[in-house]
Amino acid sequence: MDSLKEVSPEKLGSSLSRFRHTLQSAHRSSIDVKNSYDFYVLAFKEFTKENFSDAFLYYDRADYELTSAVNEAKHNLRGLRIHSSRTISFFFKLYGLYAVIYGVIAASIFATLIYRVSDVRLLDVPLWSSLFAGLGSSAQILTGVVDDLRKQGIVTRYKRIWYTALPFLSLIFGYMAYLLFSSGLVAFNLGSDERIFSTMFVCFLTGFLTNWIIDQLSKLSKNM
């Protein structure tokens, strides 16, 4: 924990926001965070009043109470604290490890299918177009987790069940991207081999941008 002199109001605000996500992860893992949450509420109230000194002290106490609650949730084996299913679940949620495992498994499956069924075609469209998009969406999940950890130290996105649907939606987008790219509407002066590799890259990129595409389609539907 930083000292009071080292914490600016902006940094304290970010810490409180991050701490709220931490409390949510602990609560969903059945860890008793009542004491910690009470001090967090006091810290937030003082922060909104711009009483930053008191806000920091309450935040420091909330952090201490959460650490105590996590330790209490561990198993006590002859005086040695070892992780329980609740604390393991907490750290998996906090650092997005469920999303990482899902992303790695999905990427492995798509890579295997690309190797095994690359020649299969669906309505004259090669199946690899969808599979490369699935590979791209799996990469998006992993990079999203890494980006959250890099910026905030915890994962605030990709913690809900919705991200599991991204690879499946990307299969459709990859299929449509192949149709668009191969139709000539997007023209490139490339040779046969270069065109194939370019199409693979376009399908992969389409899958990687699945979340962005969903946002754009949602905005478009609202304006129609």
Three-class secondary structure of residue 125 per DSSP: strand
Where the chain has pLDDT below 70, the residues are 1-7, 158-160, 183-194, 224
Distance separating alpha carbons of residues 21 and 23, to the nearest angstrom: 5
214 within 8 A of 169, measured Cβ to Cβ: yes
Instruction: Select from 17, 141, 21 the least CA-distant residue to 93.
Output: 21
Half-sphere exposure of 56 (CA within 13 A, CB side): 15
CA distances to 50, 129, 191, 192, 202 from 196, in Å: 59, 10, 9, 6, 10
Residue 109 confidence (pLDDT): 95
Does the predicted TM-score (pTM) go above 0.75? yes
pLDDT tens-digit profile of 93-142? Answer: 899 899 999 999 999 999 999 988 878 888 888 899 999 999 999 999 99
